[in-house]
Amino acid sequence: MMLLTVTALNWLADDSTPTPDPTFNPDTVTPGTIGFVITLLVAIAAVVLIIDMVRRIRRVNLRAQAKEKIDAEEAAAAAAAISGPKGKKNR
């Protein structure tokens, strides 16, 4: 067990730097056409999701406003029914 721990610690403490391939030029690396297409698809998906979210939020807000208006009309009708005609209370 101790040998395994020492081996693992030596492996983690290894500071040697690998030598890069001499034919590899990091300045000429690009994502290419596939990377561009994937990035474009992700951007389009994000825009579609944002538009859908805004539409759903707007719908929820309109439903809440309509419910408040209906509740206010019902409360006014109930108050009018209780007070009777010309603001006098029914007995």
Q: How far apart are CA 47 and CA 40, in angstroms?
A: 11
Question: Is residue 52 one of the residues assigned to a domain?
Answer: yes
Question: Is residue 89 one of the residues assigned to a domain?
Answer: no
Q: What is the pLDDT of residues 28-44, one digit of tens each?
A: 778 889 999 999 999 99
The count of structural domains within the chain is 1
Question: Is residue 15 one of the residues assigned to a domain?
Answer: no
**pLDDT of residue 90 exceeding 70:** no
Is the Cα dihedral 50, 51, 54, 59 positive or negative? negative
Question: Is residue 62 one of the residues assigned to a domain?
Answer: yes
Q: Which domain holds residue 55?
A: 47-82
Question: Is residue 75 one of the residues assigned to a domain?
Answer: yes
Q: How far apart are CA 88 and CA 80, in angstroms?
A: 10
Three-class secondary structure of residue 23 per DSSP = coil
Task: Assign 88 a pLDDT band (cuts: 50, 70, 90).
Answer: low
